Structure 1
Amino acid sequence: MKLIIFYEKPGCITNNKQKSSLRNAGCMVIGRSLLDHQMSHEELYTYLEKRPVKEWFNPNAPAVKNGEIDPNSYTEEEALDLLFHHPILIRRPLISVDGRRMCGFDKSVIEGILELSLEINRVEECTSDTACPPPVSSASSK
């Protein structure tokens, strides 16, 4: 049984579907709140580093969707600092499995690592009609 650490936005419908798909495939999934991640800048970077900076951002985050934040306008350092302080902007989930870390739910990559097939469609598209507003928590004031 593969162990997966899964950083998510609590209550996110899409993240719940992703976790269910992993569990249905026989994986043990440990969900953690991305909003209360408690990681260092360096650790957060290990999840993001394989993607271009603009792909570090959640395209469904309200500030990105409404044009308040342009993911193309940040250097790695600036983006990492912004995401560290405003984790609602991070593309979700952050996943750790077998020593590999990734940002976003790339079904084909995950299936390759796990050597199995996942039953899930629309793997990263936000299925909420409320644009995933941040939950009320101490982390949302960071």
Structure 2
Amino acid sequence: MTRVIFYEKPGCINNTRQKQLLAASGHEVIACNLLKEPWTSEGLKAFFQDLPLPAWFNKAAPAIKQGEIKPEELTEDQALALMLKEPLLIRRPLMLAEGERKVGFEVDEVKAWIGLDEPEGNPDLQTCPRSHEASSCKPA
């Protein structure tokens, strides 16, 4: 069993499914509100490691979907400043376990990292099921 600090948007359907899968796989999940966390640039950047800058962002965030923010045109400093101002821009979840930080929920990556049971039906645990709507995930 691994203790996973799980930064989520409370009520997000996929974050709920991800936490359930982690718990069903025997992990202890400590859920934290990503939107209320007192982030710093350094603290956020630690999660992004070697990811390309556009992968730091929540593609379902309204400002990105509407084209107001174009991650591929930003510097690291600009991206982090925007995320500190508007945490909805941060790709979810952010996870901390065994001294490592991860962003997003790639099943194969989580499985290799801390172990994970196969989800039934191979569901998409990354794309917001409400992404066809005008805004990002809303509380269920």
| TM-score of the superposed pair, with normalisation by structure 1 | 0.88
User: Which whole-Å CA distance do the structure 1 matches of 2:50 and 2:32 have between them?
Assistant: 21
Unaligned stretches of 5+ in structure 2? Answer: none
User: Which residue matches 1:56?
Assistant: 56
Q: 2:104 corresponds to which residue?
A: 104
Superposed displacement of residue 109, structure 1: 1.2
Residues 71-86 of structure 1: pairs in structure 2 closer than 5 A: 71-86=71-86
* Equivalent position of 2:128 in the other structure: 126
In structure 1, distance between residues paired with 2:5 and 2:20 = 13
2:4–2:97 contact (8 Å) kept in structure 1? yes
Runs of 4+ in 1 over 6 A off after TM superposition: none
After TM superposition, give the deviation of residue 103 of structure 1 in Å: 1.2
* 1:11-39 superposed Cα distances (whole Å, 9 cap, x missing partner): 10110001001001010001101101112
- What RMSD over aligned residues (CA atoms) do the two structures have, in Å? 1.6
TM-score with structure 2 setting the length: 0.89
Gaps of 5+ in 1: 136-142
Aligned ranges 1:1-142 → 2 under 5 Å: 1-119=1-119, 121-128=123-130, 130=133, 131-132=135-136
Classify 1:9/1:57 alpha carbon distance in 2 versus 1 (closer, same or farther; 3 Å): same
Which whole-Å CA distance do the structure 1 matches of 2:69 and 2:59 have between them?
10
Other structure's SS at 2:129 match: coil
CA contact (8 A) 1:95 1:102 kept: yes
Q: How many correspondences in the alignment? A: 135
In 2, distance between residues paired with 1:72 and 1:134? Answer: 26
